Amino acid sequence: MALLLMILRKMVKNRWLELSLLLGLIVSVALASSMPIYTHAILQRMLIKDLEVQQTNTLRYPGLVANQAYFAKAKEGDKRLAETDAFMSDMSKRFDLPILLSTRTRGTMTFKLTPSDPSKIDPKEQRYGEMAAMTDLEKHIRIVDGVMPSSKLVDGVYEAWVFPELLTKQKLVLGNEVTLVDNDLKTNIRVKPVAVIDRADYTDIYWSNSMKDMNSRFFIPSALFEQDFTKSSHFVDLFSYWSIVLDYHQLKLEGIENYIATHKEIDDYFSRNLATYTSNNTTVSTLQAYGEKEKKLRILLWSLNVPVCILLAFYLFMVANLITERQKTEIAVLRSRGASRAQIMIGYVTEGILLGGIALLIGPFVGLQLTKVLGASNGFLSFVQRAAIEVKLSQGAYQYGLIAVIASVGMVLIPAVLATRVSIVGHKQTLARKNKLSFVHKIYLDVVLLAVSMYLLQSFNRRMDDLVALGLESLDMKVDPLLFVVPAFFIFAMGLFLLRIYPWVIKLIYSLGRKWWPPYLYSTLLQVGRSTTQYQFIMLFIIMTLATGIFSASAARTMNKNVEEKIHYKNGSDIVLQTAWDNDAPPPQSGPPGLESGSGSEAGGKKRVQYVEPPFIPFTQLTGVESAARVFKKEDAYIAIGKDMKKTTLMGIDTDDFGRTAWFRDHLLDHHFYDYLNVLATDSKAVLVSRSIAEETGAKVGDVIRIGWNDVEGATAVIYGIIDYWPSWNPNPILTAASASSSLSSKSKTSAPNLVIGHLSYIQNNLAVEPYDIWMKLKPGMTSQALYESLEQKRLSVTRLVDTNMMVIQSKNDPFQLAVNGVMTLGFLIAIGISFIGFLLYWLLSLFSQILQFGVLRAMGISYRQLIGMLVAEQLLTSGAGVLIGMITGNTASRLFVPLFQLTFDSSSQVPPFQVSFDPKDQLHLYMIVTIMIGLGLLLLGTMLSRIKIHQAVKLGED
């Protein structure tokens, strides 16, 4: 108890330092606990989004669990059917999801139909059908014609519902009675359609898995079917379908394992007990991928947080070191009086446990709020009002928090451990030797880390060159944590290395103006030059904060910009659509494929389809359209240069419209994009060819070539230019099957795509008129919705539409993109916050330690303005130098390491080339924040300095 009381008193005595230490611990725990919270929240959002996209793309409800089985009378089908009904009823509850609908469909085998009255129905027609029943059918249909069927036999005849398709195919009308005939039936089954029905609601999920074989099914009431066809004495061979519709919006990540296990149990039951069955649950394949996604996302989050974790560790170490420095004399005295190191450390361990316990209680709740910040990020230092992500505290959050506490407390105890090794004599000697090298510089840690970082950089560059050269896909590669860890170590190492040189720079400055420096600058240069080790903590802190901020800003901006540019380049413009073209193509033939090869005029060859070009002007007049262009593409065209013929993509454009509409990044070509269009416009026969064609065939500007495709006569053209990139065209090599099986070192078997760009009018006049795409550029500030409404109002037929802006928005909602933007933004904000606190703490304590010196200087006649000048000079030589080194380090790290982020993308589709991006606004924000931080520090220090009296300084010196 006495020990605890002593520790509490000591903590109260250093309360501001202890509070700063506690704040660092809380932030560390919050950051660590936010990772599992964020991983869970973002994957939960992605899970539901993926299932919604699956529903849109497949037009099938993802929550549908459909199973079908065949039951034979000879194999006790009635008993097996009853068992399976009970099993499916039980399993539907095991999914632990709300059941929106549960239906059961029965159907007999298909039997031959014969007219009960041949005078009313043509007996020569071949007719087949089956009896069927669906639970609750009457609640989901509307009667188009006829009356409701009876729930029992009417004069030995079953009255049935039928869909219009049955009457059409079987050539029946309502009231026609038919008989189902089969040798296996004990008695013939007579059935009469009395009602034509249709779905009451076409969007009703009841019909998700039920619109099959409607042209042969006679539906009777479910209870009647069960009574007459499934009981032991009346059982007939039949099929049974079970459809369970679950509310997938309520599916949680925690329920994925149970969902998959339940599906597997159903599948196992059917495979064990039934010979013929099908099981359909499309959701399972989506869910099975989430384990790997969670693993990758967790690795990515940890990797992204490495820089801020290093900064937090450094902050904790610095604050703990400041606390320990104030207590070193006390520790040395205790050691000299017989106290063991273990006894002294017990006090520090107890203090760490107290602070760590408080941090563990508060940190996860702070992490919960940090996760909400992550979810709202739309880019680096950019936030939007998107739907809030579903966050909650979990056991994993506290586990991560506990690990963070243990690691942080361990970091905090390091200065205390080092301090307990020093005797009172050693402590006094240390105070007298403030210009010695720091430990990390003694062991050349900076040089070692720099060498390792540069080696790994070269390794990454070699891998990247191989990927691009061979056209390999990096999608199969896992997210490499080293892509984020190595830059953090490089920043740390380069900061240390420049600090190694820093004392020599100070000595050089001192030597250059030794005869002219005023007294206050002379004193400051001596102070800084002789005590560089003393300032290294705060300088390295500023260096890492600024460098990490610059690197994070550049990395986030670069990844975001390259993703957006990739989408814009791939599509070519804001909107790409294709409209319906009238043509003379014959309708598809029914019947066996072998019947298509007939005789006649077409026997000698296939007739080329003739197209009628629809009006283009209406598309240029749509709401929000700034410009539009016709863009023709033929993927399987050819180019002939002499005797050399190559497969190529042929693009036809109107140069003026294309230049106004297409998106293209500057500096991708030798000359401006418009220059090539201007050259092309000078001659109707002019074409531009890709670099790949020029290299493979030796073609050059001025050569005459021939272009065309199958079924058309070729046309001559003249090469007017050679291009490396072009809107929507990917020039990267394509990995062939031969090269895929060979060694990756062989680059000869990778084929680069070819492209020829010509005039659309020339292609249409000399080759053929075929469908083209319409590219549109929207006016600034216009949304796609206005365009969609205009298309609908003008009733323009669109067969395909690509919305670039929508694709960009979807990319920003990608969980990995959200993680990069959110974590880097959060890391930067945390870095700035703790940097500001650490900066003020350090300089306040530094000021207190120099009060006696300032008092003596005032007594010697140094004015207050000169003292302020000393403070400003000291700040410029330390904090200012830290800012300068941080800028150099951050920009260098960005230039070297940010290009490696393309390893996380598919290199074969990364067009335009990956480009490091710096936003001046980001750096301006950084410099403003650092300037405000230093300015506030100077203001606070100056204010405190103005209140120091000579007698107070002398009194402190006597104490």
pLDDT (average), residues 210-217: 76
Residue 689 pLDDT grade (very low, low, confident, very high; cuts 50, 70, 90): very high
- Least-confidence region, from 333-347, 396-410, 566-580, 659-673: 333-347
606 and 752 in contact (C-beta within 8 Å)? no
647 forms bridges with which residues in the sheet? Answer: 638
Residue closest to 904 by CA, chosen among 478, 492, 281, 596: 478
Residue 657 pLDDT grade (very low, low, confident, very high; cuts 50, 70, 90): very high
H/E run at residue 453: helix 445-470
Calculate helix-pair angle for 851-859, 815-849, nearest 10 degrees.
50
Residue 596 pLDDT grade (very low, low, confident, very high; cuts 50, 70, 90): very low
DSSP-derived 3-state class of residue 914: coil
Q: Which residues are within 8 A (CB) of 124 and not within 5 positions of it... i.e. 6 or more apart?
A: none
DSSP-derived 3-state class of residue 114: strand
Above pLDDT 90, what percent of the chain?
14
DSSP-derived 3-state class of residue 748: coil
Per-residue model confidence (pLDDT) at position 722: 93
CB atoms within 10 A of CB 515: 6
Per-residue model confidence (pLDDT) at position 755: 93
Q: What is the pTM of this model?
A: 0.72
CB atoms within 10 A of CB 492: 26
Residue 593 pLDDT grade (very low, low, confident, very high; cuts 50, 70, 90): very low
Residue 603 pLDDT grade (very low, low, confident, very high; cuts 50, 70, 90): very low
Q: Distance of alpha carbon 391 from its chain centroid, rounded?
A: 18
How would you class 421 by CB atoms within 10 Å of its CB: exposed for 0-12, middle for 13-18, buried for 19 or more?
exposed
- Quick: pLDDT tens for 749-783: 457 889 999 999 999 999 999 999 999 999 988 88
Cα 540 from Cα 496, distance rounded (Å): 7
The mean predicted confidence, pLDDT, of the chain is 80
Cα 513 from Cα 616, distance rounded (Å): 76
Find the radius of gyration of the CA atoms of the chain. 39
Cα 227 from Cα 90, distance rounded (Å): 23
Per-residue model confidence (pLDDT) at position 477: 40
Cα 785 from Cα 395, distance rounded (Å): 44
Residue closest to 638 by CA, chosen among 651, 627, 648: 648
- Least-confidence region, from 446-455, 757-766, 943-952: 943-952
How would you class 118 by CB atoms within 10 Å of its CB: exposed for 0-12, middle for 13-18, buried for 19 or more?
exposed
Count Cα neighbours of 530 within 13 Å in the Cβ-side half-sphere.
9
Per-residue model confidence (pLDDT) at position 745: 43
Q: Specify the DSSP class assigned to residue 610.
A: P
Residue where the block lists tokens 């010697």:
860
Structure tokens at 535: 């300032």
How distant, in Å, are the alpha carbons of 53, 55, 214 from that of 58?
A: 8, 5, 21
Per-residue model confidence (pLDDT) at position 378: 64
Cα 658 from Cα 545, distance rounded (Å): 46
